Amino acid sequence: METLTLDTNVLNDWAWAEGRSAESRYGNDPAMRTKLIELFKQLKELRDDGVCELGITNQIFTDYEKDVGELPNFIEEMIGPYVSYALPSISTFPMIFPFVFADEDEINAIMADVFPHSKPEHKKHKSNKKDAFQLYAHRVTKRDIFLTSDKRILSARQVLFSKWNIQVMTLDEYIAKHTLSLNPKSPPNHGFT
């Protein structure tokens, strides 16, 4: 069974697609909502068929800058029925047991590989640091695939895999991978019957 970590943006997409969130995403494009509804339906089927396990890291609290019990209701309602916490968590607040102490040097190295031009004075630096924590937390939990729609993370997928053994995919790619493996193209007939 493949273990997946859903980036916070993927969980937000899922909530938005199902109408759980009032947040505006993708300009509230109905075609995008329909596409995401279908992709998440297929992801749930893969999960329910035992193909994959869906998880989030405790870094969801950092992304929302909230504590236990303070996440948006639409996210709280998804934890359990939709996704579980990937363990061990890392030692950022709040900690979920069991946990391991975060290695700041490794987090900074991941950040340098994914966001090489991010400096503390840049407006996106804080957001980039949160993303580096997410990737580090995924690595610590030893999960197979990190699902995200974050373009910066996706553009760094080669270095993340070769240097950190973090496989990154989009939801579309993950579903396509399993659609192809479940429905391979028929071999050519070559005129033989």
**Share of residues in the chain with pLDDT > 90 (%):** 67
Tell me if 178 sits within 8 A of 51, measured CB to CB. Answer: yes
| 36 falls within a domain | yes
pLDDT digits (tens, 9 = 90+) for 65-83: 887 788 899 999 999 999 9
Quote the pLDDT of residue 182.
56
**Considering the domain boundaries, does residue 193 fall inside one?**
no
Domain span holding position 102: 2-182
What's the pLDDT at 92?
74
Contact between residue 152 and residue 111 where contact means Cβ atoms under 8 Å apart: no
CB 124 within 8 A of CB 153: no
Domain count across the chain = 1
Rounded to whole angstroms, the Cα distance separating 30 from 81 reads 25
Q: Is residue 187 part of a domain?
A: no
Any domain includes 64: yes
The answer to whether the CB of 171 falls within 8 A of the CB of 13 is yes
Position 92 in a domain: yes
How far is Cα 164 from Cα 145, in angstroms, rounded to an integer? Answer: 12
Read off the CATH number of the domain in which 168 is found: 3.40.50
* Residue 191 is assigned to a structural domain of this protein: no
95 within domain boundaries: yes
Ranges in the chain, pLDDT < 50 = 186-193
Q: What is the mean pLDDT of the chain?
A: 89
